[in-house]
Structure 1
Amino acid sequence: MARAIKKLTLDEYLAYDDATDVRYELVDGDLVEMPPESDKNNLISLYLLSQFLKFVPIQLIRHKDTELVVIGNRTRVRLPDLMILTQELLEAMAGGRATITPDMPSPILVVEVVSPGKVNEDRDYRYKRSEYAARGISEYWIVDAQKARITLLTLVDGLYEETVFQGTDIIKSATFPLLDVTVAQVLTAGQMQ
């Protein structure tokens, strides 16, 4: 008979240390190991970070290792590829652990770069979409190099409205209306030269 594995609470997750450098997300009480990102995905998120630096100070940008607590059937903790914080959120974090808890304001923008595979697609297109909407995140970008598109989700009355950009389309962001970058520029940032 299989032994039941104890579900972790948020506090137990935040205190968890297995003495490795493995990154985990917490999904409904279970630790889910997050494999290392591909170099392509890292380059894409770094390129976007460089573009956002034109509009916000580096203190308001988080890349890879800041945790975001969302609510599912149980508490979930996600590790977005890129986030843009508000000044209020930065102050709420106040130099402590890089974790955005439910009592803190939400980031204004989250970017996920989709890794290959159905599990990764489902996580970014389905689960995180509803989690980030429930968290009140104004804009959620899904960057999908495999499908050569960027899906921009804008929060309207609690639900995301979707716009898909491809090829030479300039990404039109309500949060960053002066952003002047095309899907092709973003996706080619992840290609080896």
Structure 2
Amino acid sequence: MSQSIAPVLAEQQIDTSPTLTFEEYRVYQGEIDVKYELYKGKLIPMPTATVLHIKICEYLVYQLQRYLAEHNLDLVVKTGLGVRTDEDKSRIPDVVVCTQSLLEQAAARPGAGILEFDEKPLLVVEVVSENRRADYVIKRAEYELANVPEYCIVDPKNGKQKIRLFALIEGEDGYTYTDFLPGEEIVSVVFPDLILSVDEILNPPFVEQLVKAENAQLQELKQEATAERQHAEEERQRAEEERQRAERLAARLRELGVDPDTV
């Protein structure tokens, strides 16, 4: 007897997660150790960062903070700061540069720290992790829509290593991009004096080592300055002793009836 075989239908995965408004997302309390982005009203959990990912972010924050301090700019560099990219979308870039006033506005609002759609950061950085399409295509489109002046993708994957800078150039329709490869230096459009080694960004030293080296250099400069001050003080004391000796000699000559100005 023949037996009919019913086709087996693959179960379709149905997204049963809640759809949130942006305001609901701003105050959403999920798992303690998980960060969520918002995409079309859906929560997107962010993967745990690798050590290399963390090092790259810390290195960029360090270099950007030094640059802003050297140029006396009223800007801040932050990690973990959200950027709203559309009505129902919000991202958490790896690094964000914005004005101090925008950060204070975000801090004054309840819930998560997120820059509103009309509060443009100057630069956002994403370090490529698991979902490459998200960084290269989806987020690129969102940051372009939000008119973020510069979007930097750091791609440390072996065989694909590069840094891609998207920028809004006057006269151009939307983002234009430039790829910087190992052995080259990147030049920012928003911060044209900021020039960094691609190799160091892709394989950065520990920031702690950089801070130690900088501190050692400061200590050396302090020691040199102290030695110079001591030398100047010794010269001043020597000059003062010579002056006093000359005054004593002049006084003794006058006692002997000799005009010291004629000697």
So what's the TM-score if we normalise by structure 2? 0.64
Matched, 1:26 2:26: no
CA offsets 1:94-137 (integer angstroms, 9 cap, x no match): 4444111124x20000000001x4xx111100011110011111
The 3 A distance-change label for structure 1 pair 56 and 95 is farther
Larger % of strand: which?
Answer: 1
Aligned residue-pair number: 184
The 5 Å alignment of 1:119-138 reads: 120-138=131-149
Matched, 1:15 2:52: no
Query: Retained in 1: the 8 A contact 2:183–2:197?
Result: yes
User: 1:40: which partner in 2?
Assistant: 52
CA offsets 1:133-161 (integer angstroms, 9 cap, x no match): 11111110000001110001111345110
Residue aligned with 1:55, SS: helix
CA distance in 1, matches of 2:183, 2:15: 53
Q: Which aligned runs of 4 or more in structure 1 are off by greater than 3 angstroms?
A: 1-6, 94-97
CA distance in 1, matches of 2:18, 2:163: 38
Residue aligned with 2:49, SS: coil
Larger relative contact order, structure 1 or 2 (CA cutoff 8 Å, min sep 6): 1
Query: Retained in 2: the 8 A contact 1:42–1:190?
Result: no
Instruction: Pick the aligned partner of 2:88 from 55, 66, 75.
Output: 75
Compute the displacement of 1:87 (Å): 3.7
Residue aligned with 1:174, SS: coil
Residue aligned with 2:48, SS: coil
CA distance in 1, matches of 2:85, 2:124: 13
Residue aligned with 1:107, SS: coil
CA distance in 1, matches of 2:200, 2:51: 16
User: 2:194: which partner in 1?
Assistant: 179
CA distance in 1, matches of 2:17, 2:201: 41
Residue aligned with 2:189, SS: coil
CA distance in 2, matches of 1:45, 1:38: 11
The residue type equivalent to 2:40 in the other structure is: D
User: 1:61: which partner in 2?
Assistant: 77
The residue type equivalent to 2:175 in the other structure is: Y
Residue aligned with 1:171, SS: strand
CA distance in 2, matches of 1:189, 1:43: 6
The 3 A distance-change label for structure 1 pair 5 and 40 is closer
CA distance in 1, matches of 2:76, 2:108: 12
The 3 A distance-change label for structure 1 pair 23 and 190 is farther
Compute the displacement of 1:26 (Å): 1.0
Query: Retained in 2: the 8 A contact 1:133–1:158?
Result: no
Matched, 1:139 2:153: no
The residue type equivalent to 1:109 in the other structure is: L
Larger % of helix: which?
Answer: 2
Q: Which has the larger radius of gyration?
A: 2
Percent of aligned pairs with the same residue? 34
Compute the displacement of 1:18 (Å): 2.9
CA distance in 2, matches of 1:12, 1:129: 25
The 3 A distance-change label for structure 1 pair 54 and 99 is same
Unaligned segments of structure 1, at least 5 residues: none
Query: Retained in 2: the 8 A contact 1:109–1:138?
Result: yes
So what's the TM-score if we normalise by structure 1? 0.86
CA distance in 2, matches of 1:190, 1:80: 21
The 3 A distance-change label for structure 1 pair 158 and 101 is farther
Compute the displacement of 1:80 (Å): 0.3
CA distance in 2, matches of 1:108, 1:158: 18
